[in-house]
Amino acid sequence: MKRNIALLPGDGVGPEVTAEAVKVLKKIAENYNHEFNFTEGLIGGVAIDKFGNPFPKETEELCLKSDAILFGAIGDPKYDNDPKAKIRPEQGLLAMRKALGLYANVRPIFTYDSIIDKSPLKREIIQGVDFVVIRELIGGIYFGKRGRGEDGNSAYDTCSYTKEEIRRVAKFAFELSMRRRKLLTLVDKANVLETSRLWRETVQEMSKDYLQVTVSYMFVDNASMQIIKRPSEFDVILTENMFGDILTDEASVITGSIGMLPSASIGEKTSLYEPIHGSYPKAAGKNTANPIGTILSAAMMLEYSFGMKEEAQAVRSAVKKTLEQGYGTKDITKTHVLSTSDLGDQISKMI
């Protein structure tokens, strides 16, 4: 099978970790008789430096003509430390999500027995945790109207959703639930927010078409506690954009390192796969960043975009075996500490 992949390494450690995912994908192609063609594009700070635009037209066109996108990270301290900067790397990510219709962000949360003690949470709480957060990605407060008052002393950000936007991502969540444990939790703030009440009404209506799925409803403040207190009771969590952004970063501590977790952004035109960590500029160029989140994102690409379930499982099994042998970057092991590139080599050998 031949597939074209847009490669967007981005900023910071992005180029280093995506290089290891490419290494693993090339091994899969070799072992399973596939052909993966990679074409690189610029996004984020590196795109601003060259084009003055964090998501240039050339990159958008590359994404649209590709079968899937493998993305690294964006962000640069020179923009973070300048509150008056009018162009920021993160604007490229938001623009890309909107242009490509990347409406559903899929973030699995899981544990590995071999590194479970790296988590700050107790083993008995997190052992066997396996749930997925489905976050709506192109609506809500991040894409609503915003501005400053004329005197500069007030500001506003508007959260807005349509029923169709909610139905689209909720359908994805319900269908995923049907393939898992058939438990769906909607996280909202319906006791305060009108948008949350629309979310709850819409999901209640849709639940009649998925009678096998047990649906529960939880306010976001309670959910933030329960994800830490009893994470094993969750299966599929569905929520809006900003709540999902915050809750998934909170949930990342369950695994033990934010460098371990992958994600997929499912779109109308194509889909994007990326680790959930940021650009981590302090580690850029040091060959120490954990590439596993990106490698597992590549596994999600194989399964979700290409329908290659066996190949995806081969990648996940290789990661698991590598960890069981004590190999890892410094954030997850003290036994056999490897560099970014050496860990990528080790996982590739296990496939």
Write out the catalytic residue numbers: 142, 189, 221, 245, 249
Write out the DSSP string of 69-135. Answer: EEEEE---HHHHT-TT-SS-HHHHHHHHHHHHTEEEEEEEEE--GGGGGGSSS-HHHHTT-EEEEEE
Rounded CA gap, 218 and 134, in Å? 15
Rounded CA gap, 236 and 108, in Å? 9
Would strands 130-136 and 102-110 be described as parallel, antiparallel, or unpaired? antiparallel
* Angle, CA 237 vertex, CA 236 and CA 241 arms, to 5°: 140
CA distances from 211 to 205, 206, 207, 208 (A): 11, 9, 6, 6
Which tokens belong to 145? 């109207």
Which tokens belong to 184? 């769906």
Which residue reads 């501590």 in tokens?
A: 253
- What kind and span of H or E run contains 57? helix 57-64
Rounded CA gap, 333 and 258, in Å? 14
Q: Is 130 exposed, middle or buried (0-12, 13-18, 19+ CB in 10 A)?
A: middle
